[in-house]
Amino acid sequence: MGHIESQHSHINLDESAAIFLYTCVTGIAIDHVAEHFQHSYSTISENFRKILDILSGDEFYSKYVRLPEADAPPPAAIRCSRKWWPYFLNVLAAIDGTHINCSPSAEDLHTARNCK
């Protein structure tokens, strides 16, 4: 099992990934994450940043992330469903319940209201 070296503690790779995913999925503050995993704020922050750097780095990103082609047909889960089609006819988006927290500026807030 791999470890991520930290100036504060040694956390195995599985726990670092769990910290990252837990933080992303829940969107809760670092103090709650630190309490949940029983590590200091600095350890949580440092390990979150290291996983983020790994996932957004060229080596990982270029190998595992594939964006849909602009002219690719919508996924079969959309095309073959009377519930979704034709409402999502020209949409490129996640249909797996993915939700990404965002904080738009005050002037752009109206465009994000009631959106997932």
Containing 52, the helix (H) or strand (E) segment is helix 41-56
CA terminus-to-terminus distance, the chain: 36
Residues 22/33, Cβ–Cβ less than 8 Å: yes
Question: Per-residue pLDDT tens for 85-112?
Answer: 878 776 665 555 555 566 677 887 777 6
Question: Per-residue pLDDT tens for 36-46?
Answer: 999 999 999 99
